[in-house]
Structure 1
């Protein structure tokens, strides 16, 4: 955490006098902001993780509108250019009571965000944090990409993974997201990171030589079909059936592995050898299809042969936290500017407690 806090409307005395009555400053700020309109800008609601952000945003927006203190609306965009135009159109109108929650579609939205800042309008950034303007946000809400790798490594270690065991990593793309998810995994194994307040036991730490037994797929482009094809190719060499630990950096990639095992693209003997080894796999994100496997409702002929299946949380529902940060700011409450949402491991034991998309 940067420890940088935004405290709206709080006076050093902690309270002010209004008509001879003591009123907490936060209440004065909330009263002043009553009627504020929150524009929530996200990607188009279509499919996948980014599309589901809008779905969860609508739930929170309804809650705000039903409460009546503030109003809110969702505005979606299919491209960064569209999103920039939307921001400029809003700023061209009456922005006296405006506030923004923005999921920037790419870094080119920086210029439009700067216009919001220049207009003196508060905003919360979600998911894609643009470093050049991050210090101007009320809050920067994001998932912990490094923490995803940390959580996966901790899960495998808990299942008995030993230093130097063969691990195969299915990577998402070539961006910093993948770099961080790779790094978190090895950081935990080396003892340089902790999960839920604990580091790996000293006798289970991996050396640099041990880490050489981790194989990386290269960019799967977050594609289930690309991962399915890649895993079928991997299992084309029967020696690779000895790989026990599969770290998929997204639930879509994990589903690609399951679909490959459920299909006919792998030799039956190799497939049987792989499953008899009691493999374990982690995904990430909260995809409902993968959660259905964890719930015991699909792919059970295959899933029951795994020694463990897990999905690390990185839910599009985090947009609701971003919107709540803006509400808290308008209420005059203290908001953490660098708001990183910790990862949790979702398994068959606790999947009922987590939303999916």
Structure 2
């Protein structure tokens, strides 16, 4: 998603992260659980050909919120009346493939287009069947590279930007070349690969964030990046990250790590829960807090934004250097739907539509929309 978290994400996932595809496909980039749900509750009696929007189930976290934001946009489309829009959700890739097959089995002359957030890469053949039927489509979040060139638009968050944003935040707060960094990764998808890459390429000066590159004095050499450690796939899971952080800190020689880059807000919450729980000794916690560590996430999870806002986990946050998130909002699905409508209306759209991400801190968090 997470999310894409790649991611990304996703990513995203994340990178989406964005979120979480139970967590993220994202973002915030994984597969969603829960029962299948096909909903046309927002399908008003309106004229025009039909637009189908296909997402994972409206369940929870980043991915579930994609469907929620899709409903808002679908209601607007149906109110306008030029097209009839319908949301269909699925709890598995096989269910989503069946949805595509059922749509194409009907009268395709009445289909204006399809917006799809693929559950995973097994949707490649189903997407190719959309192309073969001559139906325009927009891909959202998880982009399947083998068919990406056939899409009207591939809408996704900036998974590399998520890594670069976290690295930029760390550097702004004093991270030096060769400092210990621990990365909590989302999964094994391209979302995570891109979120990893963005962090490394920012600190080595190959990538900018928000129009700025790292200054020469703070730039890392390739050998400096050996101090960046990675968790392996946390499956966009808060509980997995909590357990992994507790395990990491069972060796108190790791208590001096100052920079924790979590590739999704759920993973950041896992770190906070570990610090708030009883799985780490008080003596080790004292050593951790003595370093005043920093934690970053991404996605827009309201629970984590509440931490950034100063409304929760403040007994922990007061012992930290700072907490931050990078945007990778599930509301991007609305951009994907609009890209399809713009294409249908004869307007120019960007095929590789990467949505810029921003750093969310205590100073600007009130400017950003979160999701439950």
Band of TM-score, shorter chain: 0.7 to 0.9
Matches within 5 A, 1:235-274: 235-274=249-288
Q: Where do residues 212-223 of structure 1 align in structure 2 (5 Å cutoff)? A: 212-223=226-237
1:157-306 paired onto structure 2 within 5 Å: 157-306=171-320
Aligned to 1:90: 103
For 1:332 and 1:35, the matched residues in 2 are separated by 16
2: CA distance between counterparts of 1:111 and 1:175?
A: 19
Which residue is 2:120 aligned to?
A: 106
* Greater CA drift, 231-240 or 245-254: 231-240
1:69 and 2:82 correspond:
yes
- Which whole-Å CA distance do the structure 1 matches of 2:199 and 2:145 have between them? 24
Aligned length: 324
Matched, 1:311 2:335: no
Mapped to 1, the partners of 2:61 and 2:203 lie a distance apart of: 30
- Normalised to the residue count of structure 1, the TM-score between the two structures is 0.88
1:8 alignment partner in structure 2:
none
Runs of 4+ in 1 over 4 A off after TM superposition: none
Q: Could you tell me which runs of 5 or more consecutive residues in structure 1 were left unpaired when the two chains were aligned.
A: 1-33
Question: Given the alignment, which residue of 331, 342, 345 partners 2:356?
Answer: 342
Structure 2: unaligned runs, 5 residues or longer:
1-46
- Cα displacement (A) at 1:97: 3.5
- Aligned equivalents of 2:233, 2:129: Cα separation in 1: 35
Following superposition, the deviation at residue 122 of structure 1 comes to 0.9
Question: Rg bigger for which structure?
Answer: 1
Q: Distance in 1 between matches of 2:133 and 2:234?
A: 41
**SS of the counterpart of 1:334?**
coil
2: CA distance, partners of 1:141 / 1:238 = 43
- The one of 113, 126, 135 equivalent to 2:140 is 126
Residue in 2 aligned with 1:44?
A: 57
**Mapped partners of 1:112, 1:175: distance in 2:** 20
Structure 2 CA distance, aligned partners of 1:183 and 1:120?
Answer: 36
State the distance in 2 between where 1:131 and 1:235 align. 39
Structure 1 distance, partners of 2:228, 2:94, is 40
SS at match of 1:195: coil
What do you get for the CA RMSD once the two structures are aligned? Answer: 1.3
